Amino acid sequence: MAVTVIAKVVVKKEFIEPVKAELLKLIDPTRRERGCMEYRLHQDNEDPGVFIFYENWESMASLEQHMITDHFRNYVSAIEGKLVKKVVNKMTGI
C-alpha cells in the first residue's frame, strides 16, 4: 500500500543556507530510489527556515529502505544540532 510522507523541518536561523544545501542534495538520489513515486521539497515564503518534503512511496518497505541509504544517513549527520524541530507524518490515503 502506498505511503505519503509530509516532513516538516524547522531550521535554526543561523543554519538556513547550510541545511537547505543538505536538503537539496537529497532530491536527485532519492528520486532514483526504487519505490519513490514523488519527492518534492518546499520552502516557506514567509519563514525561510521552514521546509516541507512531500513524498509518495510505493510501500512502507520502500520508505524504510530510503531511511537507510547513504545519502539519507549523510543528511541526518550533516544537520545534527541545526534544527528547531522536525515532524514527520506517515499517512495512507483513505
Which pLDDT tens digit goes with each residue over 21-65? 999 999 999 999 999 999 999 999 999 999 999 999 999 999 999
* Model pTM score: 0.94
Say what the pLDDT of residue 84 is: 98
Q: Which residues contact 91 (CB under 8 A, 6 or more apart)?
A: 3, 4, 5, 6
The number of CA neighbours under 13 Å toward the Cβ of 60 is 6
